[in-house]
Structures are given as C-alpha cells and as structure tokens.
Amino acid sequence: MDFDPGRWCSEHRGMLIIALASLLLIFFFFFPFLDGIILGTVFAYVGKPIRDKFGNRKRLGSLAAAFCIVLPIFVILGMGMIEIANQILILARNQEAIRSALVILAEQTSQNMSPWMNNLLTSSLENAASTIAPIASSIPVFHLGRVASLAIINFIVSIPVCYFVLVDGESFVESIISLLPQREKEAYRKYISRIDYILSGIFIATIYTSILGSIIAAFIFYAFSLPRPFALASIVFIAGMVPFFTSWLVIIPLTFYRYFVDGMQGAAVFFILSSSLIYLPSELLIRPYLVAAKSSLHPLLVMLSFLGGALVAGIGGFFLAPAIMGIIVGIYQVRREELARPART
C-alpha cells in the first residue's frame, strides 16, 4: 500500500498541531542560545576529522575534537574581545589625552616628511580622533556588557553542543530518516550525504585557516610590539573566514602603521614576515587544498553568504547563511545528476 501524505496528515491533524506548537515553544525558549547552537554545529563539522582519528572510541574522540577546536578560538576571540572593550572604554574616558597623543605622534613621525604630507597626516589623525572618540563615548556601557555577556554564554553553550553533535549527530539524522517511507530513504540519504560533504568543505577550510592564521598573527604582532596584539589577531581570525578579505585586511593597515613608526625598512620587514607566515600558509596552501578536496561551492558564493548573513543576523547568520547556501547547492547538484542519468543510458 502506497503512503499517502495528505491522508496521513488529515488523520493525525491534532497530533501535528500539538507537535508544531511544541516546536514553536522550543524555538522561542532556545532563541537566545541560537548563536551557540549554530556555532556548536559548525565546530562539530570542523572537529569531525579529529574525532574520526579515534576510531571506535567515539566519545573520547568527540571530547578531544571539541577541546582542540574550541580552545584556540576561545582564547583568541576572548582575549581579543577584552582588549577591544578596554580600548573602547579608554577612548570614551580620555578623549582629550588621545588627541594630544596623536598630535605628538604625528610630529614625531613627520620629521622627514614634506610639509603638505605633514599637514595631511596631522589633520587626518585629529579628524579620526574627533570622530571615533564621541562614537565610543556614546556607546551604552550596560548594553555593551549585556551583549558581551550573551556572546560569552553562547560560546560556552557551543562547547556541549559541539560534543553531543559529534557523538549523536549521525544517529539523530538516521532516526529522522527512519520515519520516512522505505522507498524515499535512499534518496534522502543521497541528498544529506552531498550536503554534509559541501558543508564540511566550507567550514573545515574556513575555520582551520582562520585558526592557523590568527595564532601565527598573535605571535608576530606581539614580537613586533604592536598595540593590542590579541585584538588584532581576533580580527585576523574573523577576516580569514571570508574569502578574498583574509589577513590582508589587517596586515596592510599595520604595514602603514609600521612605516610611520619605524620607517620604510621596519615596514618592509613586517610586511614580508607577516605575508610569508600569516597569509601564505593558510591562504595559498591550506584553504585551496581543503576547498578543492571537500567542496565544489564557488568562493564568491561563500563570501557573499558570510557577509550577508553577518549583516542580517550577526554571529549566527555569519555561519547559517553559507550553510543554507551549501544546502541549496547540494540539492541542486544531486537533482542535476538524477536528471542527467537517464540521458546517458
């Protein structure tokens, strides 16, 4: 007897209404932790290769994977957030002192410059200070503290989510598939397998390159005595997750900063070391290899998904939008293969 979805829904209408209402209530209560759930799922994708190294010891492998992935991200972003928050408070409380320090810095670094370039540098620094400081002082401290606290809570929530997705994720998906009619199970497994393959390529390449680049950046920035090295490393981590932006977003402005502080030679040394140690290993070796091996999604789609998701829905949207894009591309690829198969026979 064939399965009739319409008849089944009409016979179980009451149960479906109760189930839908329960799902809406669960979503309502879990909504503050949505970013943590999404982050934990992304971390689980990234930690899957580490878990698989442990073979049948799935729980131990899941614990090791969660630890290896979450700990460096937590250290980099946590210390970076602390430094950025402290810098905002300093800007808000010491506006006049910062303006004076910038004028002195401009005078010290402009001794070998032409008069017009000296005036341009001085006016630019004064305008930047007069623009940024009032903005920083207008940020409500309590609101900033609430947002930071919620971000920390979501990051903590992502750790157990990552662990349990690694332990029980496959069995949960299989239990959902088991509810489907027998003739549709294999088709759905094919779609899920392709989507899982694409998402692994997106997130593994993204997170691995960002972790590597930000850790190396923290050491280099600290060695060159740059201010707020962990805050800068956290920016490298975030920028490294978006194709085409990568660590250049931080390296190039810092090179100009080194030029004004140490001159052309110091800037050249910093640029060469930063490019060869931060950019080259992650962006020219690791990311292309992982993307080619794991995913067929075009880099432009990945970039637009990351940026658009972040602008619309913050941290959760930053990872959810490329996941949705990967799902759509996976369904399209499998469907295209199914339609092309009869033409070959």
pLDDT of the residue at 345: 47
In a domain, 166, yes or no: yes
Listed in sequence order, the DSSP H helices in the chain are 5-11, 13-30, 34-52, 58-93, 95-109, 115-138, 141-177, 182-223, 229-240, 248-274, 287-294, 299-344
Nearest to 93 by CA among 124, 139, 127, 126: 139
Distance, CA of 221 to CA of 216 (rounded, Å): 9
pLDDT of the residue at 335: 85
For residue 62, the enclosing domain spans: 33-179
Distance, CA of 292 to CA of 280 (rounded, Å): 17
Which of 47-51, 96-100, 112-116 shows the lowest per-residue confidence on average (mean pLDDT)?
112-116
Entry pTM:
0.71
Query: Tell me: the pLDDT tens digits for 192-234?
Result: 888 888 888 788 877 888 888 888 888 888 888 888 888 888 8
pLDDT of the residue at 337: 84
Distance, CA of 217 to CA of 228 (rounded, Å): 12
Q: Is the pLDDT of residue 241 over 50?
A: yes
65 Cβ contact partners less than 8 Å away, ≥ 6 residues apart: 44, 47, 48, 50, 51, 162, 166
Domain match, 167 and 190 both: no
Domain match, 205 and 107 both: no
Domain match, 289 and 166 both: no
Domain match, 40 and 142 both: yes
pLDDT of the residue at 14: 74
Q: Which of 179, 213, 236 is where one domain is finished? A: 179
Domain match, 149 and 261 both: no
Query: Tell me: the pLDDT tens digits for 51-84?
Result: 888 888 888 888 898 888 888 888 877 777 777 7
- Return the DSSP state at 277: I
Domain match, 223 and 314 both: yes
> Reduced to 3 states, what is the DSSP secondary structure of residue 53?
coil
Nearest to 48 by CA among 172, 197, 184: 197
In a domain, 3, yes or no: no
- Return the DSSP state at 12: T
Distance, CA of 283 to CA of 84 (rounded, Å): 26
Domain match, 185 and 261 both: yes
Query: Tell me: the pLDDT tens digits for 87-109?
Result: 666 666 666 666 666 666 656 55
What kind and span of H or E run contains 275? Answer: none
Domain match, 174 and 208 both: no
In a domain, 14, yes or no: no
Domain match, 265 and 234 both: yes
Query: Tell me: the pLDDT tens digits for 149-197?
Result: 777 788 888 889 999 999 988 888 888 888 777 777 887 888 888 888 8
Domain match, 157 and 168 both: yes
Contact 205, 295 (CB under 8 A): yes
Domain match, 296 and 318 both: yes
In a domain, 248, yes or no: yes
Which of 19-28, 81-90, 104-113, 317-326 shows the lowest per-residue confidence on average (mean pLDDT)?
104-113
pLDDT of the residue at 292: 52
Q: Is the pLDDT of residue 19 over 70?
A: yes
In whole numbers, what is the pLDDT of the chain averaged over residues? 76
- HSE-up of residue 110 (Cα within 13 Å, Cβ side): 18
In a domain, 9, yes or no: no
Nearest to 262 by CA among 105, 99, 103: 105
Q: Which of 119, 150, 179 is where one domain is finished? A: 179
- Return the DSSP state at 227: S
Q: Is the pLDDT of residue 293 over 70?
A: no
Better-scored residue on pLDDT, 305 or 140:
305
Structural tokens at position 152:
């920390």
Q: What percent of the chain has pLDDT over 90?
A: 1
In a domain, 333, yes or no: yes
Total number of domains constituting the chain: 2
Q: Is the pLDDT of residue 44 over 80?
A: yes
Domain match, 88 and 173 both: yes
Distance, CA of 236 to CA of 76 (rounded, Å): 10
For the chain, report the end-to-end CA distance as a whole number of angstroms: 30
Q: Which of 134, 152, 179 is where one domain is finished? A: 179
In a domain, 231, yes or no: yes
pLDDT tier for residue 127 given thresholds of 50, 70 and 90? low
In a domain, 110, yes or no: yes
